[in-house]
Structure 1
Amino acid sequence: MTLWTDSGVVEAGGVPLEYACYGPDPSEALTLVLLHEGLGCVALWRDFPQRLAEATGLGVLVYSRAGYGQSGPAELPRPLDYMTREAVDVLPQVLAAFDVQKAVLVGHSDGGTIAAIYAGSVSDTRIRGLVLMAPHFFTEPMGLAEIERARLDFETGDLKRKMAKYHRDPEATFRGWNDAWLHPDFAGWNVADVIDYLRIPTLVIQGRDDPYGTMAQIDEVEDRSYAPVDRLELEGCGHAPFAEKPDQVLAAISEFTTRLIRIDAPEIAVA
């Protein structure tokens, strides 16, 4: 399949954000909007967006939030409700900038949380479904311990050098994420109540060996959502299912979106 591609910068939240698009134009077809993790960006999705467009035949839109990748800077320190602000204040502007008509939000880690907050907080009939990879809705001690280890790696190890390959300001990118999660007041952070307001199908994907979160995170979605929930647990997989188990993830998303399109198709009247 030959895919149309585009990349550039779009303004949202008062900041220039880098983006890339694959497949049909967002104004013309169902679009998979990719929302990256707490240290992610456009480049760190690697070839997953292209493969996703090829596997589904749908459009894919990916962008870097403020303070990530080559996007403009974010104000620091980040507020402890930064994921809610991204969902409610910035994501609507991104969707509007690309004239998105129908979308599935595909979020990883922080991005999964942002996707769920948007769907549970904003009345938007354009959003037809959610794909949540390793989302988090509340803090867990083992996850916070891993984030503390990340801080040590950044300050004394190789993480800062690695991040500099992908982020304009790796120090600001890391501190914006890490300082928020390790703030004493963040230990009680919990946004699971947004799940109670989900009214669209959701696919949740979780690695069994994820050091940042347990199955309790996706149990919460399955237990609280009023809409259908599909669940994919991946053996031998950590925090990045799209990178560690791409074939299984692509197959699951393809099957999920095929069903969404079938549900969304207008009924044909029988004479």
Structure 2
Amino acid sequence: MLKDVIISGVSLKVKHKVEAADRPTIVFLHDSLGCIDLWRDFPEKLGKETHCNILVYDRQGYGQSGPFTDLSRGNNYLEKEADVLHELIQQTGIRQAILFGHSDGASIALIAAAKYPAAIIGLITEGAHIFVEDITLKGIRDAVVAYRTTNLKEKLTRYHGVKMDAVFAAWADTWLSETFKSWNIEKFLPQIICPILVIQGEHDEFGSMKQVTGIINQVSGKSTQLIMSSVGHTPHKEAGDEVLYHVVVFVKSVYSIP
């Protein structure tokens, strides 16, 4: 099930489970510190409930994929990742993709749906960012302290190995830089024509409801929001059964599944 896919000379670790060639594939995009394994069994559960194929992958630098070739990131780094996603979809022969992105992965999914609509029939975002907020920066600063003073680094090293410090620095240093304060992807939103489900925890420590409103009000496709009480930045982990239920309903509304 695990395989390596080479894109622009970089080896990406991919988990691709195909149930039927005529079914859509739900593509999972992890967050800024995530990887295949940190999704746990959620992708498999969603694939089983929707009878869809699933594809989960580690972006460059993360998990079991090849290391970063350049530790510096420009304000367009998430757009570059959307281009990589497009190439991955093409190489794996996916004709109907439903993107499920969390945090950074959700921002990548938004950009990809805008730039490459032909193969993307649905979009699920969880804790997405479309611009930088003070709450986002505070959350990252708190994470920096935790990385230095708690066992957070030890926990994450189990998944990223010797790449761990690079993974964390690439995220924190970029988002906390002066130049990144102007980062904004709202220009892409009107180009999104597929249906979208926007999931947000009311207690998300990295983003406010302004992110949800901005997405819902600017996309061109049919949009639905799921605001979850008593939930933070990772709804699929904090309230997995509830998220699973609503995502299954959404997927079935996008694609007629017997």
TM-score interval, normalised by the smaller of the two chains: over 0.9
Structure 1, residues 84-103: CA drift from partner, whole Å, max 9, x if none? 11012x11121122110111
Q: Is the 8 A contact 1:86 1:114 kept in 2?
A: yes
Structure 1, residues 72-121: CA drift from partner, whole Å, max 9, x if none? 01221222321011012x11121122110111111000000000001112
Q: Is the 8 A contact 1:23 1:57 kept in 2?
A: no
- Aligned to 2:204, what secondary structure does the other structure show? coil
* More helix by percentage: 2
Q: Is the 8 A contact 2:23 2:51 kept in 1?
A: no
Match status 1:13 vs 2:8: yes
**Which of the numbers 73, 86, 89 marks the counterpart of 1:92?**
86
**Which of the numbers 62, 72, 81 marks the counterpart of 1:77?**
72
Match status 1:41 vs 2:25: no
**Which of the numbers 155, 163, 183 marks the counterpart of 1:189?**
183
Q: Tell me the TM-score normalized by structure 2.
A: 0.95
Give me the CA root mean square deviation.
1.5
Per the alignment, do residues 244 and 71 of structure 1 end up closer, same or farther by CA in structure 2, a change over 3 Å counting? same
**Which of the numbers 204, 226, 230 marks the counterpart of 1:210?**
204
Q: Is the 8 A contact 1:33 1:103 kept in 2?
A: yes
- The offset of 1:23, in angstroms, is 4.3
Identity fraction in percent = 36
Single out whichever of 229-238 and 10-19 deviates more from structure 2.
10-19
Match status 1:136 vs 2:129: yes
Match status 1:259 vs 2:253: yes
**Which of the numbers 57, 60, 74 marks the counterpart of 1:63?**
57
Q: Tell me the TM-score normalized by structure 1.
A: 0.91
Match status 1:226 vs 2:213: no
Where do 5+ consecutive residues of structure 2 fail to align? none
Whole-angstrom CA distance in 2 between matches of 1:10 and 1:157: 35
Single out whichever of 189-198 and 105-114 deviates more from structure 2.
189-198
Q: Is the 8 A contact 1:23 1:53 kept in 2?
A: no
Partner of 1:268: none
The one-letter code matched in structure 1 to 2:139 is E
Q: Counterparts in 2 of 1:107-122, with a 5 A limit?
A: 107-122=101-116
Q: How many residues align?
A: 256
Where do 5+ consecutive residues of structure 1 fail to align? 1-5, 266-271
Whole-angstrom CA distance in 1 between matches of 2:233 and 2:114: 24
Whole-angstrom CA distance in 2 between matches of 1:194 and 1:176: 24
Rg bigger for which structure? Answer: 1
